[in-house]
Each structure stands twice: as C-alpha cells, then as structure tokens.
C-alpha cells in the first residue's frame, strides 16, 4: 500500500513539474538583438513584468526610460534596474497615466531631452475602482486613455526614428470584454459597478480597448516605419491585485504560487513583440506565449476600433 502511495505521489509531482515548466513557464524570447544607440520607454516598470522588461532591454544596451507614477518607487526601481542590468543608461521620468496633465508633461519633457524613441512599451495597468483626476473611470483612464494619449504624443518621434515599434500589454481577459459606448459617452467609464464581478468585467473591457487600440493604430500607421502589437503576458505573480479586497488576495496567493508565471517569464512575450526580427507584416496582431494568435471578431472590428479611437481623442483632448 505504501509503495502505491509513493508511486501516486511521484506521478503527481512529475505531472506538476512538467505542467509548471512546460505549460505555465511558456516560451522564451529568442531574439539576440542588441540595442546600443536605441531608446526605449517602458511604463509601469517599478514592479513586475515592467521591471523585468526594463532590465532585459538595458542589458541589451538600450537607453531605457522608466515611466511610472510614484517618484519614490520609480527611483527605487531605477537603482535596481541599473544594478541588475549593469547599465547606467537608465533614466526615471515621472508619468501618472491617470492624469492627462502628467502624461502631457512627461511627453513634453521627453521630446525636449531625448533625441530618439525606438520602442514604446505600454506596460502599465491597474485593477482598481474609482475615478482619475480627469473624471474618467479609473481602469479606463489608466489602462487605455493614458497609453492612448502617450502613444499619440510620441508618434512623430517614433516615425522619425523608424523602424520602430509600439507594444501594448493586453490580456486574454479581453476575450470577455465589451465596449458600452453609451456608458462611455454619459459617464466617461466602461462600467459603474463596484462588485467583484463588475470590477472583473470592467478590467476585461479595458483590455479589449487595448486590443482595439492596437488594431486601429496599425491601420493608421500603414505606410510608415512604425509597427504595433498587443499581447497576453500570461497569468503573472505581480502586484496587479494589490488593490483588491483581502479575501481576493488570500484566494489568489496559493493559485499564484503554482499556476502563475514569475515576472521574468511573464516579460517574454513583451520582449518578443519588441525585439523579434520579421514581425513587421504582423503589425496590429495579438500575441501570446511569443506566438501570434487569432482573436475574436470583436477585437479587430474596424467600426468599433474607429469609434473607440474617436471617443478617446475627444476624452483626452486630441480631437
């Protein structure tokens, strides 16, 4: 009996090992690209996959601009990225994606002080209820409108430095998202609920915005040397859920331990989209596990993406 038990335990351990290292860990970015003389912006890099992405890019020789909201956490991340990468070509610039004024200030400072921009990685994301200082729904404002404005303000510099890329960190959650344009027009938000289910829905809606933004951006960039991509990084052990209720965090912790990627593993699809050679014909497409994927029709609908673009322009003052 004891031998049978040991055999069962051994099989379970073996299956768990294979599952974690093959399914959960996923593929790695295989690009050996060096980035000396190139400049990259990474938003939301004071923790998680943003920080891991910044370290990898700095190791490749890029000048990396760390754009994040908290000055204190940003400065701490700056020192860590420098130490881990061995590079001094790393700069912190404060940028709060929940503030249109802050985004504009960041873009103005960057364009005045930095002559190049080769890769823009819109990595920052939030799972949190509330409103931004501009009255937008928090997740709509930070996850979509902030990156939308930042990208548009920097597009001319990206075009000047082409070939260049825009990488938008999306999520598979976009598959269950939908865009309520009536709610956007009336309330400047994707939804008004605050329950756990409603918050999950709003987060998914904001990720659908990322996919649609990428789709529309690719169409508008045709004929330029700028390409763009969206991606699902995987389920990651990061601080994204730090603003959720304690009971949710308690439930998530054991799941994260076994089923979620660590930040280095979670950064691989971002790096693939930023660096992999030959992706230009796939501009506007969605990636997961370093592989291009098909998306539902709603994530590449021309009419919806155009309408979202026009509303976004109006809400952030570009129209």
17, 127, 203, 296: which is the annotated catalytic residue?
A: 203
Structure token digits, residue 202: 């709003």
Single out the residue of 169, 194, 190 nearest to residue 181, CA to CA: 190
How far apart are alpha carbons 166 and 207 in whole angstroms? Answer: 16
How far apart are alpha carbons 116 and 310 in whole angstroms? Answer: 28
Contact 113, 87 (CB under 8 A): no
Structure token digits, residue 300: 């590449």
Contact 181, 128 (CB under 8 A): no
Cis peptide before 84 (omega within 30 of 0): no
* Active-site residue flag, 127: no
Catalytic residue ranges: 203
């Amino acid at each position: 009996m004891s031998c049978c038990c040991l055999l069962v335990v051994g099989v379970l351990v073996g299956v768990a090992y294979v599952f974690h290292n093959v399914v959960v860990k996923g593929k790695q970015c295989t690009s050996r690209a060096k980035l000396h003389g190139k400049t990259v912006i990474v938003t939301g890099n004071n923790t998680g996959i943003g920080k891991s992405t910044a370290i990898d890019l700095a190791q490749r020789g890029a000048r990396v601009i760390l754009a994040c909201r908290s000055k204190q956490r940003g400065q701490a991340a700056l020192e860590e990225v420098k130490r881990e990468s061995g590079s001094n070509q790393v700069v912190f610039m404060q940028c709060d994606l929940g503030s249109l004024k802050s985004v504009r200030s960041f873009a103005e400072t960057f364009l005045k002080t930095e002559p190049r921009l080769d890769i823009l990685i819109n990595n920052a994301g939030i799972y949190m209820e509330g409103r931004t200082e501009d009255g937008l729904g928090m997740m709509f404002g930070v996850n979509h409108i902030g990156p939308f404005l930042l990208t548009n303000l920097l597009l001319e510099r990206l075009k000047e430095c082409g070939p260049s890329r825009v990488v938008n960190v999306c999520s598979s959650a976009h598959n269950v998202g939908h865009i309520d344009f009536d709610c956007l027009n009336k309330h400047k938000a994707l939804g008004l609920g605050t329950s756990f289910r409603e918050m999950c829905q709003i987060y998914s809606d904001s990720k659908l915005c990322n996919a649609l933004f990428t789709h529309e951006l690719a169409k508008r960039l045709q004929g330029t040397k700028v390409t763009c991509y969206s991606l699902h990084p995987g389920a990651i052990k990061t601080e994204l859920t730090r603003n959720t209720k304690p009971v949710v965090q308690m439930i998530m912790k054991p799941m994260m331990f076994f089923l979620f990627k660590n930040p280095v593993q979670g950064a691989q699809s971002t790096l693939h989209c930023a660096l992999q050679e030959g992706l230009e014909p796939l501009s506007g497409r969605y990636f997961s596990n370093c592989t291009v994927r098909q998306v539902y029709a709603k994530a590449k609908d021309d009419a919806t993406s155009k309408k979202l673009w026009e509303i976004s322009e109006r809400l952030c003052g570009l129209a």
